[in-house]
Every structure is written in structure tokens, then in C-alpha cells.
Amino acid sequence: MIRIEQLNKTYRVDGREVSALTDVNLEIGKGEVFGIIGRSGAGKSTLLRSLNLLERPTSGRVLIDGEDITRFDSRRLHALRQRIGMIFQHFNLLNAKTVAGNIDWPLKCTGSLDAAQRAERVAELLALVGLTEHANKYPTQLSGGQKQRVGIARALANRPQLLLCDEATSALDPETTQSILRLLLDINRQFGLTIVLITHEMQVIRTLCDRVAVIDGGRIVESGKVVDVFLHPRHAVTRGMVAQSDPLTAAMLDPGHAFAKDKLRGTLVRLTYLGDVTYQPILSHLAAATPARFTILQGEVSSIKDLPFGQLLLEFEGSEDDISKVFAELDRFEIHHEVLQ
């Protein structure tokens, strides 16, 4: 649905060129939830805003459904923006309008529905985001989570195919963040809506996204399925963000720091596994299948989106032959294993 080709963006600051995006290439599929993660100043907002041309790239192409939107005239751009909804970190609601008035606003601007049809659509959207009882309140009377629900309803009013989320949960507490992420996931599944979001929080990516791109210094440094990037981060920035979001994974990615070296005598092996095998008695199998002895140094069972996963850091002691039997057994269960030292 979206294809970004060789995108570059430079700003001119005090007569100097500042490069915000350099040679960005990405493809985002229809119905996908795609996350862009990076530290402050990495170029996330510039990249997201290039998708509806709130930010005009210096060079490169942005193709939506095969059409290069950077070549659109103002009439086509206006029509395109009606097909793209956007939500913001600080909600950007109109404080002088009620909740219903805020949601009605984009419908009024489009002008394709009469007053009765608009009222019906607003009622539908209020129900969708769980704010029917708050229709006549003003934004200042709402909590942050409720304000973002209004933002979501407003963004969906014209039935967009694409929703852009600009740090949509960064101003919310963890519990409210989860409820907003669940709402976005419901909407993605119910309407097949493509969602592109930017965030600096790995937890948001883990809960909501199918794929992720990591941006640093205006360049995409790593991208792939969330589960692959999270469990096997390659770039230092990605490893840093994963470690920050999850201390257990941090210790497993860098056991040399987490454990006293002189206490580790055997072969350190990290196992990662996905899906049903998470619920299998793996360690019992290993103990029965080989004479190698093992110590559990670290372990975690959790999920990424709806996919259960496990990871274990084990120290094996035994002969080379014993340990290769362990690896053969792991292969049989399709358990990924890497020897750390």
C-alpha cells in the first residue's frame, strides 16, 4: 500500500543544511500495523509526516496505492488527506467544541453528508470509542485517555484507509496507554485499517505492531517482524532500546555484564522459541535426552502481540558430545539456540 523510495529531507537552519532523513526505503502492506521507533531527534516525525506531506521530502518518492503523492496538485492532496487519519501526542482537539462537535468537524469539512447522516456517523464513532455518554462534554472536562479516544474517533470520521499515529500514547499513563493500544488494535482488525505509528517505546511496538523499522540519525538501521527485531536485535541502537524496555532480555543479550564471569564455567547458550512450543516441557526433554547438566541463569515467558514466546539463558556443562546432543534436541523442537561464550 505504501512504498517509500530513497526519501531524503534536509532542513535549513541558520544557513546550514540539517539532514533529517537520509535514503529511507520502506514498504508497508495493506492492513498492517507498522511501527517506527527511534530516539529523540532520530527523524520519526519527519518520516511520519512525509506520508501525508505535512512535511515535503527534499527528494525521493512516496507511493500510496501505486501513486506518487509527492507529485499531487493541491486538489488531489486535499482528497488524499481525507483518506488518511492522524492522531497526535497532545490530541490537538478544538477546545471550544464538544466531543461530538470535534468528531463532526472533519465530516462538516468534507461536506459529503447531510446533518442527519453526520449525526448518525458521530453516534457510531462515539460508540466505537466508548464515549457515548460524554458526547456533550468539552475536551477540558476529559481525561487524557478520553481525549485520545476523541482524537481517534475524529481521525476515523471519514473512513480513512490509513491511520498515522504520532506518539499517540506518550502523554498517557501505562494503564491508559494499554487501553488506547487495545482500541487501535480492535480498529485495525475490525476495519482492516493500515496503521503507521511512531514511538520511542519498545513496549508500544511489542503490543501493537506487526513489523518495525528502527531509525537513527535519519537512517533506517534495522527493520523486520517485531518478534525477530525484539528477540534478535542487531544494531546497537535497537539493542539499547530493547534492553531498556526489558531488563530480562538485556541480561540475555549481554550476559558478560549481568553475571560474574568467574562463576560461569560451562557453555552459555541462549534459547528463544515462539508459539506452541512455549508451553512444552523443554527442560525435562533436555534432561532426559542428554547427560549434559545445565543451570538456568535467566528466563522469560511472555508475548509479542498475540504470539507467546520464551527465552532462556542456560549454562551447560558436559562433554562436546553431550552438548551436541542438546543442540540436536533443540533443533528437533525448532528452538533457536546461540552459544554466547
2, 33, 46, 51: residue in contact with ligand ATP (rule CB under 6 A): 46
C-alpha cell at 164: 498515522
State the nearest-atom distance from the C-beta of 172 to ligand ATP, in Å.
Answer: 16
Nearest to 215 by CA among 62, 42, 55: 42
Q: Does the protein bind ligand ATP through residue 256 (CB under 6 A)?
A: no
Region from 44-52, 152-160, 236-244, 253-261 binding ligand ATP, contact rule CB under 6 A: 44-52
Q: How far separated are the first and last CA of the chain, in Å rounded?
A: 43
Q: Which is nearer to ligand ATP, 42 or 80 (CB)?
A: 42
State the nearest-atom distance from the C-beta of 63 to ligand ATP, in Å.
Answer: 21
Handedness of CA 304, 308, 311, 312 (dihedral sign): positive
The tally of CA atoms less than 13 A away on the side-chain side of residue 218 is 15
Q: Which is nearer to ligand ATP, 104 or 222 (CB)?
A: 222
**Rounded Cα gap, residues 129 and 235, in angstroms:** 38
For ligand ATP, the binding residues in 180-219 under the rule CB under 6 A are 200
Q: Which is nearer to ligand ATP, 89 or 102 (CB)?
A: 89
Q: Does the protein bind ligand ATP through residue 11 (CB under 6 A)?
A: yes
C-alpha cell at 161: 484507509
Parallel, antiparallel or unpaired: strands 59-64 and 2-13: antiparallel
If DSSP codes are grouped into helix, strand and coil, which group holds residue 292?
coil
2, 4, 7, 20: residue in contact with ligand ATP (rule CB under 6 A): 20
State the nearest-atom distance from the C-beta of 10 to ligand ATP, in Å.
Answer: 9
Region from 12-20, 80-88, 109-117, 272-280 binding ligand ATP, contact rule CB under 6 A: 12-20
If DSSP codes are grouped into helix, strand and coil, which group holds residue 4?
strand
If DSSP codes are grouped into helix, strand and coil, which group holds residue 188?
helix
Q: Does the protein bind ligand ATP through residue 154 (CB under 6 A)?
A: no
State the nearest-atom distance from the C-beta of 231 to ligand ATP, in Å.
Answer: 24
Plot region of 65 (φ>0 → left; ψ -120 to 50 → alpha; else → beta): left
Q: Does the protein bind ligand ATP through residue 13 (CB under 6 A)?
A: yes
Q: Which is nearer to ligand ATP, 23 or 67 (CB)?
A: 23
C-alpha cell at 213: 523499522
Residues that bind ligand ATP (CB under 6 A): 11, 13, 18, 20, 38, 40-46, 200
